[in-house]
Homo-oligomer: A and B are copies of this chain.
Amino acid sequence: MSSRDYLGEFEHIVILALLRLAGRAYGVTVRQEIEARTGREVSIGAIYATLDRLETKGYLKSQFGEPTPERGGRSKRFFHVTAKGMSAVNRTHRAVQSMTQGLDLIGSHS
Contact = CB atoms under 8 A, between A and B. Distances in A.
A99 B34 contact: yes
B9 A99 contact: no
Which of A6, A7, A8, A105 has the most chain B CB atoms closer than 10 A to its own CB?
Answer: A105
Interface of A: 5-10, 12-13, 16-17, 19-20, 34, 37-38, 40, 89-90, 92-103, 105-108
**How many copies make up the complex?**
2
15 contacts: A6-B10, A8-B9, A9-B9, A13-B96, A13-B99, A16-B100, A19-B103, A20-B103, A37-B98, A38-B94, A38-B98, A40-B95, A90-B107, A93-B100, A97-B107
Contacts of A106: 90, 93-94
